Structure 1
Amino acid sequence: GSPIQCAETCFIGKCYTEELGCTCTAFLCMKN
């Protein structure tokens, strides 16, 4: 399936929830 969008957008290519498995993809933070 598709990645789940996290609760934030990216800020300068970084996600605040990266430690929870979220990564920056096309200005959105997605859980992979």
Structure 2
Amino acid sequence: VQSKESIESLSALEIAEQMTYLDHKIFVSIAS
């Protein structure tokens, strides 16, 4: 059973990964 803390940290990690992906897409679109 996952605790609430581990679920929240997982969500934060997923958000961080999505933001990194978006930043990369924005950088590529600006650079090209």
Of structures 1 and 2, the one scoring higher in RCO (CA 8 A, sep 6+) is: 1
The structure having more radius of gyration, on CA atoms, is 2
- Bigger share in strand: 1
- Bigger share in helix: 2
* TM-score clears 0.5: no
Normalising to structure 2: TM-score of the pair?
0.16
Normalising to structure 1: TM-score of the pair?
0.16
